């Protein structure tokens, strides 16, 4: 990540006040000036940076909704679930205030502080992304149901009814190592080092305030045909995300993804609920399965992604269609058939992962970091319950991790991550 002229101005400010105390009291509403980072503003006793529209491969931080949800899916993800260590509401609020300008800097393709420093102390930035551009980095923040159970924060009355741990589904074999969390940070980028660098530095800046519970790196490859991005494939080689709502359609996104006024707690309006599932895919078993059986498992043709019996990926799937023998064309135990059998939609934003081998079996520890966004986690639950025990895909996968988070609405200029939650207190 490149340094800008404005960093010299900012680094003087960082040296005058420790990064972790950026939320100290100060005069509100005083403009400090503009730099190559965008405008630097002091308000509510905080330093705010603006998006830099001149940056290459830049995703906007500020807006009605958080980035990383409707944003075009990037090639890489680093997802982290955190445990909160602070013991008061004020400290929690200050944590999100402190993270806000750091997230802007990272998404501007910059380091969070000058890498050149006194050699007797650690640099402010870990430095591994120096020289790289923004790589379409998006950073998304969410909070889990367990955060509201910590009485010291006084947030119990602000917990949305929708934010609760997912029920136990058939075939779940969850490992607590990959389950739950108080806060999540989802960093997606077209460079794996940029994504990791973002989470690493946000967690490092919050040393003593949070600890890592679990994390997962993931990857995607997005084919491009005639300058148009295609649907990425999972490790079973099938396209993943064909039935997604149209992210450019406000109507579609409002119906499926964005919480509307009155649908949840007021602070969640324009936010979304995130479901995370770490799904091991049994590649060795799959690789011994005939192609026709693979297609019957998904309910789609592997190469085209089209529903069985059709040719185009985006042709409507008619689950009631039968052949001349009275059998369903799309097998009724297939993943797609069962998912389409309920009136529920979600926005899938999944990434593949490969984390070595399973110690007990010697098989691949590889699969899908399944992420979905929806205005209510019940949308996911309806689909997962429909899949139940009869989904043929269950023969080839095991759900190992699970979490649900409430992702804040977008951050406005002069505001901070999660301000809506604290303003209502």
- In the chain, the number of structural domains is 1
Q: Answer whether residue 174 is part of any domain.
A: no
Phi, psi values for residue 26, rounded to 5°: -165, 175
Which phi and psi angles does 205 have, rounded to 5°?
Answer: -65, -25
pLDDT of the chain along its 425 residues, tens only?
654 444 443 443 333 333 333 333 333 333 333 333 334 444 444 567 999 999 999 999 999 999 999 999 999 999 999 999 999 999 999 999 999 999 999 999 999 987 566 788 889 999 999 999 999 999 999 999 999 999 999 999 999 999 999 999 988 999 999 999 999 999 999 999 999 999 999 999 999 999 999 999 999 998 889 988 899 999 999 999 999 999 999 999 999 999 999 999 999 999 999 999 999 999 999 999 999 999 999 999 999 999 999 999 999 999 999 999 999 999 999 999 999 999 999 999 999 999 998 767 788 999 999 999 999 999 999 999 999 989 999 999 999 999 999 999 999 999 999 999 998 65
Asked if residue 301 belongs to a domain, the reply is no
Q: Which residue has 């989904």 as its token pair?
A: 391
Other Cβ atoms less than 10 A from the Cβ of 219: the count is 16
122 in a structural domain? yes
Both tokens assigned to 58: 């830049």
Tell me phi and psi for residue 192, to 5 degrees. Answer: -65, -30
Measured in whole angstroms, the distance separating CA 63 from the mean position of its chain's CA atoms is 17
Closest Cα partner for 407 from 210, 204, 264? Answer: 264
* DSSP codes, 180-215: --SEEEEEEESSHHHHHHHHHHHHHHTBTTEEEEEE
Structural domain span for residue 68: 6-138+145-150+182-254+410-423
C-alpha closest to that of 137 among 104, 95, 114, 112 = 104
Residue 171 lies in a domain: no
Q: Which residues contact 25 (CB under 8 A, 6 or more apart)?
A: 45
The whole-number pLDDT of residue 116 equals 63
Whose CA is closest to 421, among 405, 404, 409?
409
| CA nearest neighbour of 74 among 217, 220, 186 | 220
Look at residue 424 in the predicted model and tell me its pLDDT: 61
> Per the domain annotation, does 359 fall within a domain?
no
Residue 291 C-beta-side C-alpha neighbours within 13 Å: 5
Instruction: Measure Cα distances from 193 to 80, 190, 256, 371 in Å.
Output: 15, 9, 32, 20
Radius of gyration of the chain (CA): 22
Query: Comparing C-alpha atoms, which of 14, 397, 331, 361 is closest to residue 171?
Result: 397
- Number of helical (H) and strand (E) elements in the chain, helices listed first: 10, 14
Measured CA to CA in angstroms, residue 196 lies from 129, 139, 188, 278, 359 at distances of: 9, 11, 9, 18, 25
Domain annotation covers residue 235: yes
d(CA 151, CA 171): 34
**73 within domain boundaries:** yes
In a domain, 249, yes or no: yes
- Specify the pTM: 0.88
Per-residue pLDDT, 5: 42
| Distance from C-alpha of 277 to C-alpha of 174, rounded to nearest angstrom | 10
Give every CB contact of residue 287 below 8 A, 6+ residues apart in sequence: none
Q: From edge to edge, which strands make up the β-sheet containing 46-49?
A: 30-35, 38-43, 46-49
């Amino acid at each position: 990540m490149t340094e800008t002229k404005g960093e010299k101005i900012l680094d003087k400010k960082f040296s005058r006040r420790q990064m972790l105390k950026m939320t100290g009291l100060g005069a509100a509403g005083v403009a400090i000036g503009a730099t190559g980072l965008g405008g630097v503003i002091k308000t509510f006793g905080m330093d705010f940076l603006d998006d830099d529209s001149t940056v290459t491969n830049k995703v906007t931080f500020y807006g009605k909704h958080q980035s990383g949800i409707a944003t075009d899916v990037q090639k890489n993800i680093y997802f982290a679930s955190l445990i909160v260590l602070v013991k008061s509401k004020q400290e929690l609020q200050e944590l999100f205030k402190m993270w806000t300008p750091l997230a802007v800097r990272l998404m501007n393709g910059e380091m969070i502080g000058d890498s050149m420093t006194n050699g007797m102390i650690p640099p402010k930035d870990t430095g591994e992304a120096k020289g790289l551009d923004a790589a379409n980095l998006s950073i998304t923040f969410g909070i889990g149901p367990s955060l509201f159970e910590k009485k010291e924060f006084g947030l119990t009355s602000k917990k949305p009814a929708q934010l609760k741990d997912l029920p136990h589904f058939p075939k779940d074999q969850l490992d607590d190592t990959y389950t739950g969390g108080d806060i999540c940070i989802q960093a997606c980028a077209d460079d794996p080092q940029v994504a990791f660098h973002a989470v690493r530095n946000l967690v490092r800046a919050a040393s003593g305030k949070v600890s890592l519970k679990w994390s997962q790196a993931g990857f995607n490859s997005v084919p491009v045909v005639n300058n148009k991005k295609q649907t990425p494939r999972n490790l079973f080689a099938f396209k993943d995300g064909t039935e997604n709502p149209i992210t450019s359609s406000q109507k579609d996104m409002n119906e499926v993804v964005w919480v509307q006024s009155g649908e949840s707690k007021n602070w969640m309006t324009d936010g979304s609920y995130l479901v995370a599932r770490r799904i091991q895919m049994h590649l060795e078993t799959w690789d011994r399965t005939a192609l026709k059986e693979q297609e019957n498992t998904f309910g789609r043709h592997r190469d085209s992604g089209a529903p069985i019996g059709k040719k185009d990926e985006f042709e409507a799937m008619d689950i009631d269609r039968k052949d001349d023998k009275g059998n369903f064309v799309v097998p009724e135990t297939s993943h797609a058939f069962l998912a389409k059998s309920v009136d529920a939609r979600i926005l899938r934003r999944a990434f593949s992962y490969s984390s070595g081998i399973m110690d007990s079996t010697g098989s691949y520890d590889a699969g899908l970091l399944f992420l979905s966004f929806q205005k209510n986690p019940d949308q996911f639950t309806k689909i997962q319950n429909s899949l139940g025990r009869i989904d043929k895909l269950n023969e080839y996968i095991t759900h190992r991790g699970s979490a649900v988070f409430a992702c804040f609405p977008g951050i406005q200029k002069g505001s901070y991550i999660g301000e809506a939650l604290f303003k209502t207190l």
